[in-house]
Structure 1
Amino acid sequence: MLNHPTLDQMQALGLAGMASAYRDLSEQPGTKELARDEWLGLMLDREGALRADKRLTNRLRLARLRFPDASIEDIDFNAARGLDRRQLMALAQGEWLKASENLILNGQTGTGKTWLACAFGRQAARLDHSVLYVRMPRLFEDLAMARLDGRFPRLVDKLARAQLLILDDWGTHGLADQQRLDLLEICEERYRRKSTLITAQVPVSRWHDLIGSPTIADAILDRLVHNAHRIDLKGESMRKSKAAAATVTD
């Protein structure tokens, strides 16, 4: 039987889950009849669960999701949105992440693209993938500033290493020459190595014109679109619908 010095040693070794399980087991009636390997198994289970929770918390902190509480389980499958439950549940399994495939969410403003992207981001973190969320306008601002202060290679490396990179608000405006080149470099670093999730109001058929420079646009789209799963969100703005419902209620 473990004694208190051993319990203290567990804490010192960073085995907080095992220590917590031992304390709980010691206070529960009937646990003395358990075999030593059963005690050990329960303690290891608690340790594993605690470490998994800490990894998830850390991944979500680093992901900086706009909606950190968004969850696959809370998706609204209202028929008006045009969501395919079977497709979304299949994507939630994460095979597309293992295959370094991409995901494109299209829809008008307010249809829930960003929230859904964050739900997929949270699910990826649950599956032990690193995630990074960034809005495209802010991304280009950060890249321009990083180029000036010498952080550009480090920032590109950070964007390249994320196992899931979420690019929100794609195509809100055309791209300048340097922005096109920066985007191509990021796409090239990630191509067939990591997954990218894009949200956009603009349909994919118009992306080429928005990017500009046909040669660079071809290269960027080839790395983003050809191996991408697509979800088209339909219907009116959910924000407007909720506002209207609140007005009626009031």
Structure 2
Amino acid sequence: MLNHELKALLTKLKLHGVVTSLSANIDAVYSNKINFEEALIDACNTELLIRNSRSVDRLIRGANLRYAHARIDDVNFEANRIGLTQQSINRFSECTWIHNHKNMNLLGSTGIGKTWLACAFATKACSKGYKTKFFKYFEFIALFEKAVDNTIDKQLIKKLMTFDLLIIDDFGLTSIPSAVEGILLDFIDNFSMQGSLLITSQFSYDIWYEKFNDPTIADAILDRIIHNSYTFEISGDSMRKIGSSDEIATL
């Protein structure tokens, strides 16, 4: 049994993984089944695993994902959809595209599972330590509308620069207000050099251009997004015909 004083000290130091591991191994140490160094290595590894798990959980909670339970391992490849392969999904789940500041765009009709897949990529990004944030399109544009004439809200926009991955879900449902276009261009121009965007949309790229008032700004913004992106064009049956997104792995 682990010494009570040692256990209390380790607990006070919040080394809960060390406590768990040593408690399980201490008898084996005393009986010479394993040496102390082996027990200590196992204790340190257990502590690191627990800390990493907590860190990932914090990142996922902070991402405010619509489907925080979504995981790449649960992608449904048996559904009748075109544009997804297990090979491509596994490739992008390595998150090298985020490391290289590339973007990803998921295009397809409503109900095809774009949002779920975006969240699955997001949880994978969190598991690799990437700071992530999920926005519905309306929420994202609203931030920039508030920031046009408000210094405090401009600071909120600057905080977005601290993220590694920003998800914009359902891009293009409405036109982008003309007052927002300038500040949005400035943000995309800066963010594209240090972060990645994951955008879902029901619309093809040519329709994206129509959502802007100023064609010059549209060209500048979308050039930075599209030409630096990997694109999944997904088609097939609506996953909502199969069941609730909360009940099944929709993508």
Instruction: Give the letter for the 2:170 counterpart.
Output: D
Q: Is the 8 A contact 1:100 1:194 kept in 2?
A: yes
Are 1:58 and 2:61 an aligned pair? no
Corresponding position of 2:115 = 114
CA apart distance, 1:26? 3.1
List per-residue Cα deviations over 1:141-176 (Å, max 9, x = no partner). 233335566422321122221111001010111111
Gaps in structure 1 of 5+ consecutive residues: 244-250
CA separation of 1:140/1:159 partners in 2, compared to 1, >3 Å: closer, same or farther? Answer: same
Q: SS at the partner of 1:172?
A: coil
The aligned residue for residue 199 of structure 1 is 200
What is the distance in 2 between the residues matched to 1:139 and 1:41?
46
Q: Distance in 2 between matches of 1:240 and 1:22?
A: 51
* Aligned equivalents of 1:35, 1:242: Cα separation in 2: 53
Runs (4+) of structure 1 exceeding 4 A deviation are 27-32, 146-149
Query: Which of the two has greater helix per residue?
Result: 1
1:101–1:192 Cα contact (<8 Å) kept: no
Contact 1:143 1:155 in 2 (8 A): no
SS in 2 for 1:77: coil
> How many percent of aligned residue pairs carry the same amino acid?
30
1:124 matched to 2:125? The reply is: yes
Q: Does 1:240 align with 2:206?
A: no
Alignment of 1:76-225 (within 5 A): 76-78=76-78, 80-82=80-82, 83-146=84-147, 150-225=151-226
Provide the rounded CA distance (Å) in 2 between the counterparts of 1:188 and 1:206. Answer: 21
> What displacement does 1:52 show?
0.6
TM-score, with length taken from structure 2: 0.89
| Cα shift at 1:11 | 1.7
Q: Gaps (5+ residues) in structure 2?
A: 245-251
TM-score, structure 1 as length reference: 0.90
CA deviation after TM superposition for structure 1 residue 233, in Å: 1.2
Structure 1 residues 100, 15: CA separation in 2 closer, same or farther (over 3 Å shift)?
A: same
Structural RMSD (CA): 2.1
